[in-house]
Amino acid sequence: MGAGIKLVHNGFRASRVLTRKLFYLQYDYFAKKEYDAIWNDIADGQRFSSEEVKRYKNRWKWSHANIIPTNLYKVCATISGKRSADFLPDNVYNHSIEPVINNKQVSHAYADKALYDRLLGSHKKLLPVTLLKNVNGIFFDGLGNQVADPEKQIQSFITNEEKLLVKPSIDSWGGRDVYVFYKNNGRFTLKNKDTELTLKWLLRKFEKDFVIQQVLKQHPFYRQFNESSFNTFRVFTYRSVADNKLHLLHVALRIGKPDSEVDNIKMGGTAIVVKPSGELNDFALLKTMRKIEHVPNKPELKLKELGKLHKIDEIKATALELAEYVPHSRLIGFDMSIDEDDNIRLVEINTSNIGIGAQIMIGPFFGEFTQEVIDYCKKMKKVDILKIY
């Protein structure tokens, strides 16, 4: 290799390292600030010894994180009532754990909602019915046949459908850009708006990579939590680095805010952790981190009185079966629920930025597997990809 090319390569390498470091530095800073603010609100005279805090810092100092947010430990320990150094800092998870236990170079492909049917073999029946999808600019119908006239295809939905769900198939998170269109005078429009579902609108909004699906109707048991959204479970599965066996880590029920069509936390929804017994946790958390003992916005639904959740064991078992289809990721978050015909449905597979907030309510994210995860991540090299837009 010539000296000039070597110089250019080294310059490029240095710029990559610098950008990555700055990205993580600002991430660390905001993680710390976020938990500092929460701790200020909920501290209420709680005391933690300096040894305890030091033990927590030592537990995670091996990671690439620039800052260990000790207030995260205090918040988690106070709310969950468990004083364990295993509470995983968000920034450590993003820096040093997810890029090791999940192959981020490959995992994006598994998050493509338009191609779940190819991935899931016999389990594809769990997916919502896809009517039209755009993959890299190419239109396909639900059966995977190429569609020559997508405009005509969209018009044809008027005959059989009352509502349509439109969402991006890749690079989406937090319920962003998810739209529900309603049949209105022979056309599909957004609720309370005149925006009509047309090919032109789709291409302007998404350009490419999106799906049009039938809207799932949820089971009455789950509808009681919030009628407007399809309330799903986020089921976390983990393939152990010690024995390669699949385990269920946590389950959380996500509930949309009133009148919202999505259940994502980012869009105002809440999540309540499910106990191993299959019942909802004894308390839910408001945005202010105040504990409440009923379903948010539903004071009549007392968490302790709801009993075992409908078909929760079947959902857990199905998530473990589904995890077999995603070999490049050890940690996966499946969004699943039960439809009105009592069938299990899979809405989404998450392999990156999975969200580890459940630990605040129920205890350390990796629980009994924490030590093996730490040992593994110390030993193995991470493959990290940052997208710069």
Partner 1 sequence: MKTVKKIAGFFYRVTKKAAKIQSWYLHHFACYLNGRRVWKRIKKKQKQTNVEAGLISANKAYWKPLCSMVPQVFIKEFTALTGIKSELFVPENIYFTTIEPLLNNASISSAYEDKAIIDWMHSGNYFPKIFIRNIHGTYYSEKGEVIQPVLDFGNGTIEKVVVKPSVGSQGGKNIYLFEKNGSQWICEEGHVLSIEFMESRFGMNFIVQEYIHQHPFFSQFNPSSVNTLRVMTYRSVKDEQIHVIQVVLRVGKDGSVVDNQSSGGYVCGIGADGCIRNYAINKKGDVVNKLAKGCVNLLDRMPVHMLDDVKQVAEHIAQRHVHSRLLGFDFCVDKDEQIKLIEVNNMDLAIDFIQQVNGPLFGEFTQEIRDYCLQHKHRLKHRII
Angle at 13 between CA 11 and CA 18, to 5 degrees: 95
Is there binding between residue 329 and partner 1 (CB under 8 A)? Answer: yes
Q: Which of residues 41-60 bind partner 1 (CB under 8 A)?
A: none
Q: Which residues, in sequence order, are bridge partners of residue 167?
A: 211
Is there binding between residue 327 and partner 1 (CB under 8 A)? Answer: yes
Nearer to partner 1 (CB atom), residue 241 or residue 306: 241
User: How far apart are CB 229 and partner 1 at their closest, in Å?
Assistant: 28
Nearer to partner 1 (CB atom), residue 223 or residue 328: 328
Cα 24 from Cα 331, distance rounded (Å)? 21
Is there binding between residue 22 and partner 1 (CB under 8 A)? Answer: yes
**Contact range with partner 1 by CB under 8 A, out of 90-98, 104-112, 187-195, 363-371:** 104-112
Q: Which residues, in sequence order, are bridge partners of residue 165?
A: 180, 213
How does strand 344-350 pair with strand 130-135?
unpaired
Q: Which of residues 356-385 bind partner 1 (CB under 8 A)?
A: 380-381, 383-385
Mention every residue, 6+ apart, whose C-beta is less than 8 A from residue 277: 308
Is there binding between residue 242 and partner 1 (CB under 8 A)? Answer: no
Among 46, 58, 136, 277, binds partner 1 (CB under 8 A): 136
Among 8, 129, 286, 317, binds partner 1 (CB under 8 A): 8
Helix, strand, or coil (residue 221) = helix
Is there binding between residue 317 and partner 1 (CB under 8 A)? Answer: no
User: How far apart are CB 318 and partner 1 at their closest, in Å?
Assistant: 17
Specify the length of the chain in residues.
389
Cα 85 from Cα 93, distance rounded (Å)? 14
Q: Report CA Rg, the chain.
A: 22
Is there binding between residue 40 and partner 1 (CB under 8 A)? Answer: no
Cα 352 from Cα 329, distance rounded (Å)? 9
User: How far apart are CB 94 and partner 1 at their closest, in Å?
Assistant: 15
Is there binding between residue 112 and partner 1 (CB under 8 A)? Answer: yes
Nearer to partner 1 (CB atom), residue 12 or residue 62: 12
Among 77, 115, 120, 309, binds partner 1 (CB under 8 A): 115
Is there binding between residue 143 and partner 1 (CB under 8 A)? Answer: no
User: How far apart are CB 374 and partner 1 at their closest, in Å?
Assistant: 16
Burial of residue 368 (CB within 10 Å: 0-12, 13-18, 19+) is exposed
User: How far apart are CB 25 and partner 1 at their closest, in Å?
Assistant: 9
Nearer to partner 1 (CB atom), residue 103 or residue 232: 103
Nearer to partner 1 (CB atom), residue 16 or residue 152: 16
How far the first Cα of the chain sits from its last, in Å, is 31
CB 53 within 8 A of CB 75: no
Binding-site size, partner 1 (CB under 8 A)? 58
Number of neighbours of residue 217 by Cβ within 10 angstroms: 12
Which sign, positive or negative, has the C-alpha torsion 355, 361, 364, 365? negative
Q: Which of residues 170-209 bind partner 1 (CB under 8 A)?
A: 170-171, 207, 209
Helix, strand, or coil (residue 2) = coil
Helix, strand, or coil (residue 117) = helix
Nearer to partner 1 (CB atom), residue 114 or residue 358: 114
User: How far apart are CB 212 and partner 1 at their closest, in Å?
Assistant: 17
Cα 322 from Cα 274, distance rounded (Å)? 20
Among 71, 96, 103, 218, binds partner 1 (CB under 8 A): 103
Q: Write the DSSP assignment of 305-335 as a string of letters.
A: GS-BPTTHHHHHHHHHHHHTT-TTBSEEEEE
Q: Could you list the residues that contact partner 1 (CB under 8 A)?
A: 2, 4-5, 8-9, 11-12, 15-16, 18-20, 22-23, 26, 29-30, 33, 37, 102-103, 105-110, 112, 115, 118, 135-138, 140, 146, 170-171, 207, 209, 239, 241, 244-245, 324, 327-330, 380-381, 383-389
